[in-house]
Amino acid sequence: MQPPPTPPYLVKNFILTIKAEWMLDKTTLELTRDSMDSLKAFQESDGQLSVVNILQDYVTNHGGDIYSVPLFTEEFCSTMLDEIENMKAQFSFAPNEGEDELRQIPEIVLHEKCPELFNSMLGVVFNVMNPIFMSIWQRYSNAAASIQIANYNIQDKKQGAWHHDQTADISVVVPLNTGNYTGGGTEFHNRTTVEPLPNGHALFFPSFTHMHRGLPVEEDGDRYLLVFWLYGGGNET
């Protein structure tokens, strides 16, 4: 006799499933809206016009085609942390068995465990991240390979190994609890090291050209990251 199927996960903080402005950095949201006229003109000109990047003063260029921008609010991050604790009461962080052991990181894959939250985050990609990608690269995301919550800690996985995000075109990493642990950050091979960013700030870069690794958590504590692996759309020209 087979065991009964696992019931679907019910989101505790239902507000996370609603695509709403409360979760987004106000300035970033306003700038993405203000960028629409320039992006529309670029598309309609078949690439004859240049994109006016009105986001450039708010986006940090870390060098080597690596950027960061305030994306989510502190309220969103704290609500996500509460949701993570609720998730952990029902299922565990688990590594992707399809990856080699050195590169496995304990994670919760949202489209598998929490489709409602996955769909909400995909809306952020399409409505907020895409204008940023278009302003910088003149490329956009048309789908997500995966959106997951990753967990580094001393007991299970304190740091990552060198790797490319080979299943994606654009990678986005958002810290949820900077300051609740010691260490962390992201090192890019032969490029630069980005120290832990403030909560809600999105670090983004081309996936398979930028070999990188998560730097070690040095003391007790959990480092939680919201990670997006995104497929890229074609050049709009």
The answer to whether residue 187 sits within a structural domain is: yes
The answer to whether residue 116 sits within a structural domain is: yes
The answer to whether residue 162 sits within a structural domain is: yes
Q: C-alpha angle with apex 146: 27 to 6, nearest 5 degrees?
A: 115
The answer to whether residue 137 sits within a structural domain is: yes
Domain count, the chain: 1
Taking the chain (237 residues) in consecutive chunks of 10 residues, what is each chunk's mean pLDDT?
A: 73 90 96 90 82 85 96 97 93 69 76 94 96 92 94 64 83 93 87 95 94 80 91 65
Query: Could you tell me what percentage of the chain is helix, strand and coil, using 3-state DSSP and rounding each to the nearest 5?
Result: 30, 25, 45
What is the span of the domain harbouring residue 30? 22-96+104-232
Q: Give the tens place of pLDDT for each residue, 148-167.
A: 999 886 555 555 677 888 78
The answer to whether residue 168 sits within a structural domain is: yes
The answer to whether residue 12 sits within a structural domain is: no
pLDDT of the residue at 155? 56
Q: Give the tens place of pLDDT for each residue, 172-216.
A: 999 999 988 888 889 999 899 999 999 999 999 999 899 888 887
pLDDT of the residue at 182? 81
> What CATH number corresponds to the domain at position 130?
2.60.120.620
**Rg of the chain in Å (alpha carbons):** 18
The answer to whether residue 14 sits within a structural domain is: no
The answer to whether residue 52 sits within a structural domain is: yes
